[in-house]
Chains A and B, each alone.
Chain A
Amino acid sequence: MEYVSPEGLRLDGRRPMEMRQIRAEIGAVAKADGSAVFEMGNTKVISAVYGPREVQNWSQQISDKALVRCEYSMANFSTGDRMRKPKGDRRSTEISLVIRQTMEACIMTHLMPRSQIDIFVQVLQADGGTRSACINAATLALADAGIPLQDLVTSCSAGYLNSTPLLDLNYVEDSAGGPDVTVGFLPKLDKVTLLQMDSKLSLDLFENVMQLAIEGCKAVANYIREILLENTKQLEYRRGL
């Protein structure tokens, strides 16, 4: 099947190095300490952060750091065919772990000992790149909750099909069987915190694809920064400053 036409257009009309349209909104869940909705093309994810708060299970308390918990779940209607088991299956457990470890690396947990920070992500619509959308949404929600972070974590995926590196794969491109590289990146510190890949890719090509994903992450970071700046302006305005 042809994923990149001879003119250089992908199935949804994008260029190989073009990301899907991103949209983010802060403060979607009124009850949560911090929340955000993040959309990458048709993939829509909502995330809520509760914390820092008292540890619910006293035996899990850590005396010098905050405990970070994360849960990833997909809505039954998020994928094409209705999913029977939205959480507790292996994929969800794995992604929960990945998101937790990624966010834990950038939260300054030593500032909040003996407390707990809960990050919940719910996928409302899935069209490829859910992992990345979840990490981006979690970053925004943590920023909205006012939790001290070392840097924003942004994430983007890239692949390689029809001898072309492609940025931000959607579901059809992802299920094509080609490699899918997901990168979690700290833009200010210029460090990579998450790197996952499936399928096969030769080493020289891998360097290219990873760089492409990092460029995508930087673009997402710029957008997230704009959103946060806008949000702060709104808060200042409401306070009459």
Chain B
Amino acid sequence: MGLPDASGDLSSEMEVDAFRRLFPLRFYERHLAESIRPDGRPLGRARDTTIALGAVTSADGSALAKIGSTTMLAAVKMEVMTPSMESPDEGCIAIDFHMPPICSPIVRPGRPAEAAPVVSKQLSDTISSGKAAWMAYLDIYCLDADGALFDAALLSAVAALFHLQIPAVSLNDDGKIVVSEEDGGKLEKEPVNKEKRKLTLRSIPFSLTCILHKNYILADPTSEEEAIMETLVTVVLDSSSQLISLYKPGGAVLAYTSAVQDCIALTRQRVRELQKILDEANSGMEVD
């Protein structure tokens, strides 16, 4: 198979695609040497991110987050439950991450993707429980898998919880909690909370996944980059720049402290961007 000439000038489109498929690592290294990636991004920049709140009208809180092509839809549904004996004041949150076969050509129906339970576990460790005896079911569906799944999932989960409005409930005669109707309803029932209220979040976690390859650090990988260069580092910081979680599941490249610190610095920058995007999405909602 002839290699393209040393000047790097690839004459026809067919050659580039073939080179990309047959020698992916070399293809990427030629780009990294110029401090750029095939989609034109500098090494430390993440892809365009958008958040849309309230994507699913039948859920109590929902959000659609897109990082580049990776799309995640998160929705929260609240149910009333009896609190446990040890913590009568605490509710509970159940997080479920799904990767339906539509998201990627490598996911087969009947066989859950390998990434799914890993991301589920990571999310459970990061998000803490809410108040009152509510059971919140947070379901995240991956609609398009193009790398950085955890980042997009966390972002959509956080945005959905941000958008969440706990429905108004009242205690009816049998002592059961019943969701009360919007338009007043019967006055015999004493409403427990008068109107829908938003969830108060203590501190909002944001994350950034980076790939380490030799001495390059690539922020926000696409699925192609993840497949070729396997060493991932995920850093989760909260809005006050405190470290919540650091996740490096093995990989060929060993990270020195300096590399980890660089990742954390990149994440800090990303947190500011994400905070701005979330605030814009939220104020966009409130104007309506």
Interface set of A (CB-CB < 8 Å, partner B): 28-32, 35, 42, 46-48, 50, 53, 56, 69, 71, 73, 75-80, 82, 118, 120-122, 124-127
B213 on interface, CB distance cutoff 8 Å = no
B191 is an interface residue with CB less than 8 A from chain A: no
Contact call A29/B102, Cβ cutoff below 8 A: yes
Asked whether any CB of chain A lies closer than 8 Å to the CB of B155, the reply is no
Residue of A nearest to B137 (CB): A82
Tell me if B101 is interfacial: C-beta within 8 Å of chain A. yes
> Taking the nearest CB of chain A, how far is it from the CB of B58, in angstroms?
6
Which residue among B137, B139, B143 has the maximum number of chain A CB atoms within 10 Å of its CB?
B143
- Taking a contact as CB atoms closer than 8 A, the residue among A29, A42, A53, A121 that contacts B103 in the complex is A29
Q: How many residues of chain B get a CB closer than 8 Å to chain A's CBs?
A: 30
Q: Which residues of A contact B109 (CB under 8 A)?
A: 69, 71, 118, 120
CB distance from B63 to the nearest CB of A (A): 12
- For B145, list chain A residues within 8 Å (CB): 31
Whether B137 lies near A29 (C-beta < 8 A) is: no
A120 touches B102 (CB 8 A): yes
Q: Is the CB of B102 within 8 A of A46?
A: yes
Closest B-chain residue to A37, C-beta based?
B143
B62 sits at the interface (CB 8 A) = yes
Q: Measured between alpha carbons, how far is A31 from B144 in the docked complex, in Å?
A: 7
Q: How far is the CA of A71 from the CA of B109 in the complex (A)?
A: 7
Q: Are A122 and B139 in contact (CB under 8 A)?
A: no
Q: Which residue of A lies closest to B160 (CB)?
A: A77
User: Which of B17-25, B67-75, B180-188, B231-239 lies on the face that meets chain A?
Assistant: B67-75
Partner of B69, one of A30, A47, A76, A120: A30
Given contacts A76-B137, A80-B58, A122-B141, contact A48 B102 (CB under 8 A): yes
Give me 10 other A-B pairs in contact (C-beta within 8 A), A29-B102, A46-B143 excluded.
A31-B103, A31-B105, A42-B58, A46-B102, A75-B56, A77-B59, A77-B75, A78-B56, A122-B102, A125-B58
CB < 8 Å neighbour of A47 from B56, B62, B102: B102
Query: Would you call B77 and A28 a contact (CB within 8 A)?
Result: no
- Distance in Å: Cβ of A183 to nearest Cβ of chain B: 26
Cβ-defined contact, A124 with B146, below 8 A: no
B79 within 8 A of A: yes
Check: B49 CB closer than 8 A to any chain A CB. Answer: no
Can you name 7 A-B residue pairings with CB atoms under 8 Å? A29-B102, A47-B102, A48-B101, A76-B96, A82-B79, A118-B109, A120-B101
Are B62 and A28 in touch, CB under 8 angstroms?
no
Return chain B residues, CB-CB under 8 Å to A125: 56-58
Cβ of A68 to closest chain B Cβ, rounded Å: 13
Q: In this complex, what residue of A is CB-closest to B75?
A: A77
Across the interface, name the chain A residue whose C-beta is closest to B101.
Answer: A120
Given A71-B109, A77-B56, are A31 and B104 neighbors across the interface (CB < 8 Å)? Answer: yes
User: Nearest 8 A-B pairs (CB), nearest first?
Assistant: A48-B102, A77-B75, A30-B69, A76-B139, A120-B102, A71-B109, A77-B59, A120-B101
In the complex, whether B100 has a CB less than 8 A from a CB of chain A is yes
Q: A-facing mask of B132-162, CB < 8 A → 1, else 0?
A: 0000010101011110000000000000000
Identify A31's interface contact among B69, B73, B75, B98, CB under 8 A: B69
- Beyond A77-B56, A125-B56, whether A32 also contacts B105 by CB under 8 A is yes
Once bound together, how far apart are the Cα atoms of A82 and B71, in whole Å? 22
Q: Is B108 in the interface zone, CB < 8 Å from A?
A: yes
Question: Which chain B residue has the least Cβ–Cβ distance from A82?
Answer: B77
Say yes or no: A77 contacts B58, CB within 8 Å: yes
Give Cα A16–Cα B144 distance, bound, in whole angstroms.
38
Residues of A within 8 A of B103 (CB): 29, 31, 48
Which residue of A is nearest B139, CB measured? A76
Residues of A within 8 A of B137 (CB): 76-77, 82
Shortest Cβ gap from B223 to chain A (Å): 8
- Measured CA separation A77–B77 after assembly (Å): 7
Residue among A47, A78, A124 with the highest chain B CB neighbour number at 10 A:
A124
Q: How far is the CA of A121 from the CA of B109 in the complex (A)?
A: 11
The answer on a CB contact under 8 Å between B73 and A120 is: no
Residue among A80, A121, A125 having the largest count of chain B Cβ atoms under 10 Å: A125
The docked-state distance in angstroms from the alpha carbon of A127 to that of B57 is: 11
CB distance from A114 to the nearest CB of B (A): 18
CB of A111, distance to nearest CB on chain B (Å): 21
Query: Which of A29, A73, A77, A79 interacts with B144 by CB under 8 Å?
Result: A29
Residues of A within 8 A of B101 (CB): 48, 71, 118, 120
Closest-by-CB residue of B relative to A76 is B139
* Chain A residue contacts of B139, Cβ below 8 A: 75-77, 82
Residues of A within 8 A of B77 (CB): 76-77, 82
**What is the CA–CA distance of A178 and B145 in the complex, to the nearest angstrom?**
41
Q: How far is the CA of A20 from the CA of B132 in the complex (A)?
A: 39
Chain B residues 36-77 with CB under 8 Å of chain A are 56-59, 62, 69, 71, 73, 75-77
Bound together, the chains give a CA A236 to CA B140 distance in angstroms of: 36
